Amino acid sequence: MKRACLLVGMTLAIGCNRGPATTSTTGKPTVALVLKTLNHPFFVDMRRGAQEAADRLGVTLQVQAAEREIDVEKQMQIVENLIQTGVQALCITPSGSREIVSALVKAKDAGVPIIVVDTRVDAKAAADAGLRTETFVGSDNYEGGRLAGDYLVKATGGKAHVGILEGIPGHETGDSRLRGFRDAVKSAPGITIVASQPANWERDQGFNVFQNMLQAHQDIDSVFACSDLMALGAVEAIAAAGRRGKIKVVGFDALDDAKKAIAAGTMEASVAQFPAEMGRAAVESAVKVMRGEKLPPDINVKLDLVTRDNVK
Amino acid sequence: MTVGVRHRVILTGRLTPLLLLPARQFGTLIGLVALCAVLWILTPHFLTVSNLLNVAEQTSINAIVAVGMTFVILSGGIDLSVGSLVALAGVVLGTGLQSGQPLPLALALALAAGLACGLGNGALISWGGLPPFIVTLGTMSIARGAALLFTEGRPISGFDESFRVLATGRAGFVPAPVVAMAVVYAAAHFVLSRTTFGRYVYAIGGNEEATRLSGVPVRFHKTIIYGVSGLMSATAAVILTARLNSAQPIAGMMYELDAIAATVIGGTSLMGGDGNLGGTLVGALILGVLRTGPNLLGVSSFLPQIVIGGVSIVAVLLDTVLKRKNRT
């Protein structure tokens, strides 16, 4: 066991040399950014934007994330641990809109101002717990869903059989995108949604679920995926079924892979969010709060539709 | 019965194992203390009462699941279904509460669900003669699927304060989950070390055939052992649900691996028949501290995964080396 201790000690020591220490040994205030995960390009971009803003504004940024996007219990632990280190502000992308509330209440009680990023906290759960957050920084996911829906109506001339790949049920982000999309296609009576199933934000599940959809509904000619990873999974499933170019795929997030697919013509369009922009705005808001400035309840980050015409 | 740990040491009759076995148990504790010392040196935030309670609270769920895992591994088996049972029991609890059942009934239903699934595992393993790995792998999938199907994949959230107090409440300054963990460990330790059933757990793991030939109803006791594991998962589910204020069908993923890691780091032999709950508790605390470390230090949260893997391997390696010495 001695060897085990040595190993642990060494690894921690090495790890420590690599990253800056949490506390403001330099006297700089520390802002924490808690992400859903760091194994998704979206959040990696967000971290980059946040880091740039932190460097510019002279604050120390501490970024932490759970290993898996859906692990809200782990995210709760991270928040609890960060409170122990005495961070001055907390920016967070909640893994669960309701579940995270108890952790945020603890932060609030410890006097840490909270900036919610990308995914909203459930309004009712927050009100019940008496939680007040400083602001919400993010794109309007409902609007993004509408953008995708309107585009599909135009691209198909108002006649389509659509299959939808949903995110994890109960996630505010995915639910809003879905509502936006459904509301937009309602205007076109020629568009029918033939299937709508969750693929849990994941690429391989997007592949499997869409493959099964194609088995059950031969007539599907369009797909709306609530995220690009699922959309890219669907693209693979379409290729595997030998129906490349016959099914229009619209995704969400405008990931690099998705842009390549749009340029190559295997995907039709994707709603672009600007995660780096969100990270930047989140850290800026945190600094404003620390200075005692008032913030608007919502800080909207722009959305854009990437299609073959404007893809870079 | 002469297959228990202490007896076995006496039977082998050498001086070395007598000295080494306690060393193995204390070794884990020394590991925890050393780890804490390292963190204490590296960050001023570690050794504070509020942080230590924080670590204990975060450890409680895995520690309770690991109690059941220790029973199972001591008997020479394995239980991969614990994480899914946490989700299933949580969903049963959440549904019960949300449909307006009184708290005691909802709790009883959740615990019964966990216990029943565990007993099912045990029955299939002992009477069906199936390998524990396969049976509990199957249950892992069945329970997860059932939880998802039952809730249509959606979390059930928003519970009454009278229930949430099970996670948010404090006895003095000690958080409720820590109290629950202490009670569970005290009770389980008593069962394991002071009751006939407890001694049979070791005996079955030490030599199942010999135990059976001694007239012990092995099948019956093995079924109970897996039942204990299911019950522990359900207990953890109660705390998790109260803590998150939400019962999630996707809760508890990979809990089986954390529980196995805690048990193995705690010195329980995967071969069965050797180990104790004190070790498991220390093992769970080591995992808890390792998870907290990166948050306090501000280093990458990917790091603990590597360290935990390493520590688990070293723990088993140590076990194997000791066993080999034992034999010579």
Residue B22 has pLDDT above 90, yes or no: no
Residues composing chain A: 312
The residues facing A45 across adjacent strands are none
pLDDT category at B29 given cuts 50, 70, 90 is confident
Whole-model pTM over 0.90 = no
The predicted structure's pLDDT at residue A26: 57
Residue in B closest to A3 by C-alpha: B314
Contact A77 B240 (CB under 8 A): no
Is B291's pLDDT higher than 90? Answer: no
Q: Which residues of A touch B305 (CB under 8 A)?
A: 67
Using alpha carbons, select from A173, A136, A195, A140 the residue that is nearest to residue A40.
A173
The arithmetic mean of pLDDT across residues A183-211, rounded, is 91
What would the mean pLDDT of A80-84 be, rounded to a whole number? 93
pLDDT band for position B293 (cuts 50, 70, 90): confident
Asked whether the beta carbons of residue B28 and residue A170 sit closer than 8 angstroms, the reply is no
In a domain, B122, yes or no: yes
- Does residue B113 sit within a domain? yes
Confidence of residue A28 (pLDDT cuts 50, 70, 90): confident
Residue B3 reports pLDDT greater than 50: no
* Poorest-pLDDT segment among A23-27, B5-9, B269-273: B5-9
CATH tag, A25-139+274-301: 3.40.50.2300
Q: What's the mean pLDDT when you consider all of chain A?
A: 88
More reliable by pLDDT, B305 or B232:
B232
Whether residue B321 is contained in a domain is answered as: no
Which of B206, B189, B198, B173 shows the shortest CA–CA distance to B273? B206
Range of the domain at B214: 5-39+50-310
User: Does position A111 have pLDDT exceeding 90, yes or no?
Assistant: yes
pLDDT for residue A15 is more than 80: no
- A186-193: average pLDDT: 93
Q: No. of H helices and E strands in chain A?
A: 11, 12
CATH assignment of A141-272, given 3.50.30.10, 2.60.120.10, 3.40.50.1370, 3.40.50.2300?
3.40.50.2300
Least confident of A177-181, B136-140, B287-291: B287-291
At residue B50 the predicted structure's pLDDT band, cuts being 50, 70 and 90, is confident
In 3D, which of A160, A143, A156, A137 has the Cα closest to residue A89?
A137
Is residue B323 in some structural domain?
no
**In the numeric block, which tokens belong to residue A261?**
């697919």
Would B187 be classed as within a structural domain? yes
Whether the CB of A8 is below 8 Å from some CB of chain B: the reply is yes
Q: Are B290 and B308 in contact (CB under 8 A)?
A: yes
Cα of A195 to nearest chain B Cα, Å: 16
| pLDDT tier at B1, thresholds 50, 70, 90 | very low
Lowest mean pLDDT among A189-203, A233-247, B215-229, B304-318: B304-318
Per-residue confidence at B238, pLDDT binned at 50, 70, 90? very high
C-alpha distance from B152 to closest chain A C-alpha (Å): 8
Whether A245 has a pLDDT exceeding 60, the answer reads yes
| Model confidence at B6: pLDDT above 50 | no
- Indicate whether B205 pLDDT > 70: yes
On whether any CB of chain A is under 8 Å from the CB of B149, the answer is no
Q: For the residues B52-65, what does the mean pLDDT come to?
A: 94
Distant-in-sequence, close-in-space partners of B256: CB < 8 Å, separation ≥ 6: B69, B79, B80, B81, B82, B83, B140
Interface test with B, best of A73, A105, A122, A202 (most B CBs within 10 A): A73
User: Which segment of A88-102, B26-40, B195-209 scores lowest on mean pLDDT?
Assistant: B26-40
Query: Which pLDDT score is estimated for B135?
Result: 97
Confidence of residue A40 (pLDDT cuts 50, 70, 90): confident
Is B319 domain-assigned?
no
| Strand order through the sheet with A135-138 | A60-66, A30-37, A89-92, A114-117, A135-138, A298-300
- CATH code of the domain in which B152 resides: 1.10.3470
Q: How far apart are CA A299 and CA A295, in angstroms?
A: 9
B152 within a domain of the structure (yes/no): yes
Chain-chain contact of A3 with B155 (C-beta, under 8 angstroms): no
Residue B116 lies in a domain: yes
Instruction: Write out the two tokens for B113.
Output: 């669900």
For residue B175, give the H/E element and its range.
strand B174-175
Closest approach of B7 to chain A, Cα-based (Å): 24
Nearest chain B residue to A30, by CA = B298
Confidence label for B326 from pLDDT (cuts 50, 70 and 90):
low
Q: Which of B153, B168, B315 sits opposite A198 (nearest CB)?
A: B153
- Contact of A85 with chain B, judged by CB distance below 8 Å, is answered with yes
**Between A9, A80, A128, which is nearest B34 by CB?**
A9
pLDDT at B216 over 70: yes
Residue labelled with tokens 């994330």: A65
**Per-position DSSP letters for B248-282, written without gaps between them:** -TTTTTTHHHHHHHHHHHTT--TTSS---HHHHHH
Q: How far is A71 from chain B (nearest CA, A)?
A: 8
Number of domains into which chain B is organized: 1
pLDDT at A258 > cutoff 50: yes
Q: Which sequence spans correspond to the domains of chain A?
A: 25-139+274-301, 141-272
- Is the CB of B311 less than 8 angstroms away from the CB of A128? no
